[in-house]
Amino acid sequence: MPAPRAIVTRPAREAARWTADLCAHGIDAQALPLIEIRTLREPALRQALEQARRDLTRYRALMFVSPNAVAHFFADSESNPALVHMQQWPAAINTRAWAPGPGTAQALRAVGVADVLIDAPPADSAQFDSEALWPVVAAQLRPGDRVLVVRGSQTPAVPGGQGRQWLGEQLQAAGVQADFVAAYERGAPCLDAAQQALARSAAADGALWLLSSSEAVAHLGAALPGADWSRARALATHGRIAQSARAAGFGTVHECRPALADVVASIKSLHVH
């Protein structure tokens, strides 16, 4: 029996890691990044990011929405004051680092944040998102605290970036001020001829699309307008993403937890059946 095939749609850096991990588990995985990650280009957003890096001690916690948020906030530069503060973070115990899932938590460890300062959902959580993180961190907060949410900005870029507002609403209800800063830009990739050919083939040849973002689903539709997705198969790592895939016309959509072991098990199970 041939190996199961999977199309990994995460941003390039994450897609490379996921593709390698899936291949190591006997899955024929190919990367087709559907979100492009760029450094900030707008001067106003770059200035706001630099200010946030200088003001870390004002915050009770920093919430990083993704590994990319960590990588770009702590970009290796001698002029980055966040790196200096990070190296002294064990002494500044009042500032916590929040991660919505294990990938972001690992990214924080990789830049030197101590485990004891990282808060994330339990490994056995049904999902890895703000809803799973909130019960873990809510008790840390007191009215008047401030939390900085580090995220990306779509094109066209706007101050503070864009993203779901659910966590900000919970913080506001708890009397906590939520500030937002964009650390990077997200955009639609420009698929070359080979990537377009891969996408069109995978729409009908039984490959399983691994979808981890509703934004990626939208970019796929925009890149291949008029494409027929009725025979396409998808594995979505969140219910909201599954809804987006169904709305885009994917014929078969399954859901699973975003942990590697669960993704591998789901891909192999769906291949057998």
In angstroms, rounded to a whole number, what is the distance separating the alpha carbons of residues 66 and 108?
A: 10
CATH class held by domain 5-35+191-272: alpha beta
pTM of the model: 0.84
Residue count (the chain)? 273
Distance CA 61, CA 117 (A): 10
Q: Which of 3.20.20.70, 3.40.50.150, 3.20.110.20, 3.40.50.10090 would CATH assign to domain 38-187?
A: 3.40.50.10090
State how far the Cα of 18 lies from the Cα of 272, in Å rounded to an integer. Answer: 21
Exposure b/e, 221-239, CB count within 10 A at least 16 = b: bebeeebebeebbbbbbbe
Give the torsion sign (CA, 111, 112, 116, 117): negative
Per-residue confidence in pLDDT tens, the chain, 273 aa: 678 999 999 999 899 999 999 999 999 999 999 999 999 988 999 999 999 988 888 999 999 999 999 999 998 665 677 776 766 666 666 789 999 999 999 999 998 888 999 999 998 888 888 999 999 999 999 999 999 999 998 765 555 555 568 898 999 999 999 999 999 999 999 999 999 999 999 999 999 999 999 999 999 999 999 999 999 999 999 999 999 999 999 999 999 998 899 999 999 998 755
- Asked if residue 140 lies in contact with residue 96, where contact means CB atoms within 8 angstroms, the answer is yes
CA distance 89 to 228: 51
For CATH 3.40.50.10090, list the domain ranges present in the chain: 5-35+191-272, 38-187
